[in-house]
Amino acid sequence: MKKTIRDIDVENKRVLVRVDFNVPMNSDLKITDDTRITATLPTINYLIEHGAKVILCSHLGRPNGQVEPKLSLRPVLARLSQLLNKEVVFVEDFLNKQSAAPLKDLKSGDVALLENIRFYKQEEKNDEAFAKKLAALADVFVLEAFGTAHRKHASTYGVAKLIPAVCGFLVESELDVFDKALNNPERPFVAILGGAKVADKLPVIENLLDRVDTLLIGGGMAYTFIKAIGGNVGMSLVDSSKLDLANKIMDKAKEKNVKILLPIDNVGAKDFSEDAETKVFNSGFFADNYQGMDIGPKTIKCFKKEIKKAKTIIWNGPLGVYEYDKFRRGTNKIAKYVAKNKGMSIIGGGDSVAAVQSLGYSRRISHISTGGGASLMLLQGKSLPCVDLIEDK
147 binds ligand AMP (CB under 6 A): no
Residues 229-248: x where in contact with ligand AMP by CB under 6 A, - otherwise, as a string: --------x-----------
197 binds ligand AMP (CB under 6 A): yes
196 binds ligand AMP (CB under 6 A): yes
What residues between 18 and 37 interact with ligand AMP by CB under 6 A? Answer: none
330 binds ligand AMP (CB under 6 A): no
317 binds ligand AMP (CB under 6 A): yes
Q: Please state the closest distance from residue 49 (CB atom) to ligand AMP, in A.
A: 39
Q: How many CB atoms lie within 10 A of CB 270?
A: 15
Q: Which of 23, 52, 140, 321 binds ligand AMP (CB under 6 A)?
A: 321
| Cβ atoms 340, 364 nearer than 8 A | yes
Q: Please state the closest distance from residue 236 (CB atom) to ligand AMP, in A.
A: 7
- Indicate if 36 belongs to the active site: yes
Choosing from 70, 86, 121, 197, the catalytic residue is: 197
351 binds ligand AMP (CB under 6 A): yes
The stretch near ligand AMP (CB under 6 A) out of 168-176, 192-200, 240-248, 357-365 is: 192-200
Distance CA 139, CA 181 (A): 34
| Cβ atoms 112, 55 nearer than 8 A | yes
Q: How many CB atoms lie within 10 A of CB 383?
A: 12
Q: How many residues bind ligand AMP (CB under 6 A)?
A: 18
349 binds ligand AMP (CB under 6 A): yes
Distance CA 334, CA 77 (A): 37
220 binds ligand AMP (CB under 6 A): yes
- Indicate if 373 belongs to the active site: yes
Q: Please state the closest distance from residue 383 (CB atom) to ligand AMP, in A.
A: 21
The HSE-up count of residue 282 (CA atoms within 13 Å, CB side) is 1
Amino acid at 189: F
271 binds ligand AMP (CB under 6 A): no
Distance CA 151, CA 157 (A): 7
Q: How far is CA 302 from CA 217, 256, 261, 309, 337, in A?
A: 12, 22, 9, 12, 12
| Position closest to ligand AMP via CB | 195
Q: Which of 158, 168, 219, 348 binds ligand AMP (CB under 6 A)?
A: 219
* Chain centroid offset of residue 354 CA: 12
Q: Please state the closest distance from residue 282 (CB atom) to ligand AMP, in A.
A: 15
| DSSP string for residues in 325-370 | GGG-HHHHHHHHHHHH--SEEEEESHHHHHHHHHTT-GGGSSEE-S
Distance CA 158, CA 42 (A): 25
Q: Please state the closest distance from residue 320 (CB atom) to ligand AMP, in A.
A: 5
Burial bucket for residue 353 (CB in 10 Å: 0-12, 13-18, 19+): buried
Choosing from 14, 36, 79, 201, the catalytic residue is: 36
Query: Where are the alpha helices (H) located in the chain, listed in sequence order?
Result: 35-38, 41-49, 74-84, 97-104, 121-124, 128-135, 159-162, 169-183, 198-208, 222-228, 243-255, 297-309, 329-340, 350-358, 372-379, 385-388
293 binds ligand AMP (CB under 6 A): yes
Q: Please state the closest distance from residue 96 (CB atom) to ligand AMP, in A.
A: 38
Would you name the residues annotated as active-site residues?
A: 36, 197, 350, 373
**Which residues are at the interface with ligand AMP (CB under 6 A)?**
194-197, 200, 219-220, 237, 292-293, 317-318, 320-323, 349, 351
